[in-house]
């Protein structure tokens, strides 16, 4: 079987979407070694040399286009057919021009669950394209049972059409001695410990205001100089987050690093006292999994799929009560026995998420879609 893959995200910056495709494709390549199956990776620009390991299992095809939308609508379905592919796999948008079974990965449909978390343009485009794409697709993949149930409920899809294929632990996240990691962060970013870490785009859904208020309250009550490091791309909530810092006079202890590559992020996790992840909703939530793989305590909200990911490997709290978060921060800062226990549980929980499992489930969906088409 030949599978057409929309590989454009492999050419961009490190994001959750790129992590998904790299993890899945690397595991598929390992799984297919020695078989007659092939992956054909289509993109608008050449793939970086380090994107995937060399293997006869896959080939790369570059197809330039006037625009990304035109590439998705016309070039990709045409090329998949020309190269004799039996199924195609992409993300979110499925062109109506496909003549082979199309499989789409939709990480979540938070744009339907709470539209106010999105700017009007993104909200409009997602509502216009994603629901009909899911109806056109032969199968819809998503990254958690929570997200699967949401899609069945909001999009009215048949349950057997939506398949949960959870993410694995991204490569490159592992425990590093804390003093070594803190020395690295001090040298690279000029940030002195102790600090709590928050990772994600500065957008309303991530609820970073709660993290700031919780740390501020803990500092006020304890006298501890704990800082907060916010790591992630600027988003349309950046102005409100900075305004809150000014209101709380927190500019001296809240640090904005902007986007950082994964090879820096592993050091930041290991240098931190904990990860704070108060997101209102996540279809999965990679940062808590990355932190747990490093053995870092996680305090996360109980929104969306986060309980599936964090499980017993961290502390789950409502995303609205900053006093509860401050108390949890105090517990982790002052009770070494609790920290050690959560660290051990975090490492165990992270081991449950393997890209090999994701690849096995995904390949089974490819085969089902190909067989159903005759």
Domain assignment of residue 232, yes or no: yes
**92 shares a domain with 217:** no
b or e along 314-329 (b: 16 or more beta carbons within 10 Å of the residue's beta carbon)? Answer: bbbbebeebeebbbbb
CA 145 to chain centroid, in Å, comes to: 15
Strand segments (E) across the chain? 2-6, 38-43, 58-62, 87-91, 102-105, 139-142, 162-164, 195-199, 227-231, 254-258, 274-277, 298-301, 315-317
SS3 260: coil
Is residue 79 exposed (0-12), middle (13-18) or buried (19+ Cβ within 10 Å)?
middle
Q: For the segment 330-363, what is each residue's pLDDT rounded down to a tens digit?
A: 999 999 999 999 999 999 999 999 999 999 999 9
Asked if residue 230 is part of any domain, the answer here is: yes
**Structure confidence by residue, pLDDT tens digits, 162-217:** 999 999 999 999 999 999 999 999 999 999 999 999 999 988 899 999 999 999 99
Residue 129, token pair as written in the block: 């394209």
Residues 190 and 149 in one domain: no
The number of folded domains in the chain is 2
Question: Are residues 143 and 91 part of one domain?
Answer: yes
Is the domain of 197 the same as that of 244? yes
Q: Report if residue 303 sits inside a domain.
A: yes
Nearest to 141 by CA among 284, 237, 242: 284
CA distance linking residue 240 with residue 244, whole number of Å:
6
Instruction: Please report, rounded to a whole number, the percentage of residues in the chain having pLDDT higher than 90.
Output: 87
Write out the E strands in 95-251. Answer: 102-105, 139-142, 162-164, 195-199, 227-231
The answer to whether 290 touches 173, Cβ cutoff 8 Å, is yes
Indicate whether 151 and 268 sit together in one domain: no
82 plus 127 within the same structural domain? yes
Q: Are residues 31 and 45 in the same domain?
A: yes
Q: Do 145 and 205 belong together in one domain?
A: no
Using 50, 70 and 90 to split pLDDT, how confident is the model at 5? very high
Burial of 159 (0-12, 13-18, 19+ CB in 10 A): exposed
| Residue 185: domain span | 178-350
In terms of domains, do 222 and 333 share one? Answer: yes
Q: Is residue 173 part of a domain?
A: no
Task: Please report, for the domain that includes residue 318, its CATH number.
Answer: 3.40.50.2000
List, for residues 56-107, the tens digit of each pLDDT value.
Answer: 999 999 999 888 889 999 999 999 999 999 999 999 999 999 999 999 999 9
The number of helices, as runs of H, and strands, as runs of E, in the chain is 15, 13
Residues 121 and 192 in one domain: no
pLDDT at 356: 97
Same domain, 120 and 256: no
5: its two tokens = 């893959």
Q: How far, rounded to the nearest angstrom, does the alpha carbon of residue 197 sit from its chain's CA centroid?
A: 16
In this structure, the answer to whether residues 138 and 190 fall within a common structural domain is no
Look at residue 124 and tell me if it is in a domain: yes
Going by C-alpha positions, the residue among 16, 21, 20 that lies closest to residue 5 is 21
Through-space distance between the first and last CA atoms of the chain, rounded to whole angstroms: 13
């Amino acid at each position: 079987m030949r599978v057409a893959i929309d590989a454009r995200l492999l050419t961009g910056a490190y994001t959750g979407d790129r992590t998904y495709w790299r993890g899945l494709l690397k595991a598929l390549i390992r799984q297919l070694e020695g078989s007659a199956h092939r992956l054909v990776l289509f993109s608008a620009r050449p793939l970086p040399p380090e994107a995937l390991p060399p293997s006869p299992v896959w080939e790369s095809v570059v197809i330039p286009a006037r625009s990304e939308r035109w590439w998705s609508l016309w070039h990709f379905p045409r090329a998949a057919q020309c190269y004799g592919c039996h199924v195609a796999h992409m993300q979110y948008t499925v062109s109506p021009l496909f003549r082979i079974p199309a499989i789409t990965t939709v990480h979540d449909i938070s744009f339907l669950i709470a539209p106010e978390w999105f700017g009007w343009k993104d909200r409009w485009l997602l509502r216009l394209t994603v629901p009909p794409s899911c109806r056109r697709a032969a199968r819809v993949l998503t990254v958690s049972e929570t997200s699967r149930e949401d899609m069945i409920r909001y999009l009215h899809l048949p349950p057997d059409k939506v398949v949960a294929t959870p993410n694995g632990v991204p490569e490159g996240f592992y425990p590093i001695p804390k003093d070594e990691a803190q020395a690295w962060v001090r040298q690279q970013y000029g940030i002195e410990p102790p600090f709590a870490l928050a990772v994600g785009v500065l957008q309303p859904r991530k609820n970073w205001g709660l993290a700031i208020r919780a740390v501020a309250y803990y500092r006020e009550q304890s006298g501890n100089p704990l800082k907060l490091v916010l790591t992630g791309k600027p988003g349309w909530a950046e102005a409100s987050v900075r305004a809150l810092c000014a209101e709380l006079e927190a500019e001296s202890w809240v640090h904005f690093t902007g986007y950082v590559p994964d090879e820096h992020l592993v050091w930041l996790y290991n240098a931190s006292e904990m990860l704070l992840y108060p997101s209102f909703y996540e279809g999965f939530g990679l940062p808590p999994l990355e932190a747990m793989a490093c053995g870092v305590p996680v305090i996360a909200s109980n929104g969306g799929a986060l309980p599936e990911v964090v499980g017993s490997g961290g502390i789950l709290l409502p995303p609205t009560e900053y006093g509860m978060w401050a108390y949890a921060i105090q517990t982790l800062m002052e009770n070494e026995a609790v920290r050690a226990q959560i660290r051990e549980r975090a490492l165990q929980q992270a081991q449950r998420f393997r890209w090999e499992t994701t690849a096995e489930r995904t390949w089974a969906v490819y085969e089902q879609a190909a067989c159903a088409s005759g």
